[in-house]
Chain A
């Protein structure tokens, strides 16, 4: 498991060379271009840079991800970079640079074509395992490895399942299945690779609907994991929420094997809204089940908080909730009373199992351990809602507890780092910081609210980024053409405008959540909102470059630096701290207040 310190250092090590050079290049080009054309061209360069980012996004999302491996994509990007630089070097008679470039490129080509770099990197990720299959999909990188006779399945290098693991599949299947007298219709959300379907069919079910958004997972399950009990199974390749919203089918048992709420994207499967949606698809007394990491022999504060939130949220939709400790903590909910007599039921129903039986389980001990956990839960926690994704924060805290790292320390470091530059910045550049913060935060929140309302994002996330970049380009490029006179008052008005827009957003979100709109209207609405905030951010950038009185290079570096710093602070603080702590709506309001404050500051400080 990778810790936050490692994430920090690896990101710094891997990204710094590119980021530092890209940042320097921006300043250099902005300065040169302004010098050569004898006018301020900083905003135009910013517009071109944003347009380039947008193009990069389009190519990545629609070509590279689909048709190329990671190193193939990198090779293409490098080749483009080399040829553009070569063209410029030849054009300006820099033969030495041309020579070096050609040499480096040829040397790299030799290295690249002699080695399968993708394979080498993968092998480093899976030491002593034989890689049998790797597939880059829009939903993540799927890998199958072999270690002795055992097949392992990884998603984005996270181990998801291993063959021969009877413990997980039997617990996940039979803990909920025995709770219902005679389950006929079962819904399974993800997890086919664990072999859970083979266990479910040991019960006399008539129909199993299996929902998975990634079609490759189903193919892998069939090819590598000997999933043979597919007779009553209906495979549905869709997002679970989209699927549930599109059908009227009722189920007796629902087994959720979706990833834990470690991201806001997955948090939605543990929200009150999702449980209520599920409830509409359940027969009376139906049972739902999912699992959280095992609390083993002690429920630490982080796990206690997570389970308390889930317990309280489930109780808004179900009368009874039970946690059964096994290889994971299995959380069951139903309107009928749930039983601890798991092995008794297994025996009564004559289900043949290897692990979930009275040889390995003592129902009384299971009950006492379960009650011990339930007895420690508290109601003094918030509900997990779509607009208030508290499970996500709780899961982050649980992850951090492995590493003895305080949840709030990264926030402190971010605040000190960005605060240092913010305080030192000129009034106008403070505005750029605030706009950068708002731009990224609102882009993020729009993406998440879109997910809440529409169901899921995936490819749409790429489109959001493209639109945002396009908006920045348009805003920065057309500002000098639209506004003939730019002064501090106009600048602070634009910031005020952003603040007002941000303040209105919560009302829009509540409205969108409570009325039904066709998909096309949802798309258009969100794209317009996104375009609005990104164009405004671009406008602020452009105006700031024209309000500066320094050398163009200095203006470029200061404004660009504060813009990116604001964006970085927004991305980190908003996603990891503000949203989980304050919820979407209040986080948006806080962002608006920052812009309002800076707008007032710029207006007053002349």
Chain B
């Protein structure tokens, strides 16, 4: 009898190996990509971080609650901090990938210098990984992977002035990921009379937040949901640090507005929204503008339809019933919920349409009709 080309034992062996190969193959798709991120090489745009400690496992970053412990040449979750010779460096210092001039209402900041323009900048990287990220092209990559401008902190405010902007917005990606650049730019800009606004998810530790807050004039914090589980699954974060950020910014006297993106099937539970509003009221945020923003299909959630407008209206009603005074709906052209109403006499204080103001009934920060102070930086 002729020898068989393959025995049963060999068949099982090769079959098993083949299956493992197939399964590992798909895993490798990610694993090999990770290698390219782990680069500890410094470049011109590197800056030593002030927020890390040495541990037996490596350098531990203390900027955000992720608190990544980085071994030599490793990059953090944010992709913009690396361990180089035992020290943590930001590799996004002075190399923004995105520079634009935007209306301040686009941030959104409705109670802060209305109709002004903001010089907006971003460096690649983010400490969260939201499935619905609008700026995934820059938030989920390293500064080494983007085409960048060379714009050191001492030049940022000059650009803002050049474009006739009253403020600089650290936005689009996540300013916490490029903290050193954000901090130095804000400090210099403040000294030259330009205001600083932080548009952030607020996922930051207390010390760095308090340090930068003294140079901040306003912030819009994206309170993505009021559930730790959803924060973990949707954003790779957690709720408590963000709530803590809101409290600290308030304590530090930074003008604060909050955005809540209502994502169908993720963050559109009205009971959860009610709990969130109750927490805000209980913690003294009744004067803080809250923007319920309409989700549009984005990044990894392109199969999820946009938020129905009725859901946003219900959320707004809940928030107002819970005692919040200034509640808006965003990303819905033509809605009345863009206007600011006097919490006392209910008249229109500021009538908005998009990024324009149609009428302004504000006089020295108060309602023209009933003289009620309207919170904000006017």
| Interface of A toward B, CB cutoff 8 Å | 1, 3-5, 8-9, 12, 127-129, 145, 147-150, 152, 157-159, 162, 164-167, 295-301, 303, 327, 354-355, 357-362, 365, 368-369, 372, 376, 401-402, 404-406, 409-410, 413, 417, 549-551, 554, 557-558
Contacts and interface: CB of A to CB of B under 8 A. Distances in A.
Interface residues of B, number: 56
Interface stretch (B96-104, B187-195, B238-246, B319-327): B96-104
Interface stretch (B82-90, B175-183, B247-255, B349-357): B349-357
Given A1-B299, A149-B308, A152-B305, A300 B137 contact: yes
Contacts of A298: 97-98, 122, 135, 137-138, 146, 172
Given A157-B303, A404-B30, 11 more contacts: A5-B27, A5-B30, A147-B264, A147-B305, A148-B311, A150-B308, A159-B302, A167-B333, A404-B33, A413-B25, A551-B2
Given A5-B26, A298-B98, A369-B100, A359 B355 contact: yes
Contacts of B141: 300
Nearest to A372: B100
A439 to B, nearest CB: 23
Given A360-B355, A549-B2, A551-B4, A158 B303 contact: yes
Contacts of B354: 355, 357, 359-361
Contacts of B146: 298, 300
Contacts of A404: 30, 33, 140
B58 interface: no
A8 B29 CA distance: 11
A97 to B, nearest CB: 23
13 contacts: A1-B301, A1-B303, A9-B26, A148-B308, A148-B311, A149-B308, A158-B303, A162-B305, A298-B97, A298-B98, A298-B135, A358-B356, A362-B103
B310 A148 contact: yes
Interface string B2-38: 1011100000000000100111011111101100000
Contact of B29 (A4, A149, A358): A4
B22 A554 contact: no
A554 B5 contact: yes
Contacts of B18: 417
B30 A405 contact: yes
Interface string B135-173: 111101100001100000000000000000000000010
A9 B100 CA distance: 41
A115 to B, nearest CB: 23
A406 B32 contact: yes
A362 B100 CA distance: 13
A8 B26 contact: yes
B100 A297 contact: yes
Contacts of B297: 159
A129 B304 CA distance: 10
Nearest to A170: B333
Nearest to B134: A296
A296 B355 contact: no
A8 B27 CA distance: 10
A327 B296 contact: yes
> Which of B301, B302, B305, B355 has most chain A Cβ within 10 Å?
B305
A158 B300 CA distance: 12
A376 B308 contact: no
B334 interface: yes
A417 B4 contact: no
A589 to B, nearest CB: 29
A166 B294 CA distance: 13
A297 B172 contact: yes
B308 A402 contact: no
A368 B101 contact: yes
Nearest to A303: B137
B345 interface: no
B77 to A, nearest CB: 13
A327 B331 CA distance: 11
Contact of B28 (A12, A409, A551): A409
A159 B306 CA distance: 10
Nearest to A168: B296
A526 to B, nearest CB: 35
B223 to A, nearest CB: 22
B42 interface: no
A365 B101 contact: yes
A345 to B, nearest CB: 17
Nearest to B18: A417
Contact of B299 (A147, A402, A405): A402
B135 A296 contact: yes
B306 A354 contact: no
B232 interface: no
Contacts of B356: 358-359
A11 to B, nearest CB: 10
B29 A405 contact: yes
Contacts of B101: 365, 368
A599 B354 CA distance: 69
B27 to A, nearest CB: 8
Contacts of A299: 137
Given A150-B305, A298-B97, A402 B310 contact: no
B229 to A, nearest CB: 16
B309 interface: yes
A596 B306 CA distance: 54
A353 B265 CA distance: 31
Of B18, B138, B333, the most chain A CB neighbours within 10 A belong to: B333
A297 B138 contact: yes
Among B5, B98, B140, the one with the most A-chain Cβ atoms within 10 Å of its Cβ is B5
Contacts of B5: 550, 554, 558
A1 B300 contact: yes
A409 B102 contact: no
Nearest to A424: B14
Contact of B33 (A157, A357, A402, A405): A405
A8 B23 CA distance: 9
A303 B141 CA distance: 15
Given A362-B103, A413-B25, A554-B5, A159 B137 contact: no
A535 B229 CA distance: 58
B282 to A, nearest CB: 29
A150 B306 contact: yes
Contact of B302 (A1, A361, A417): A1
Nearest to B172: A297
Nearest to B333: A355
A563 to B, nearest CB: 16
Nearest to B121: A297
Contacts of B299: 1, 402
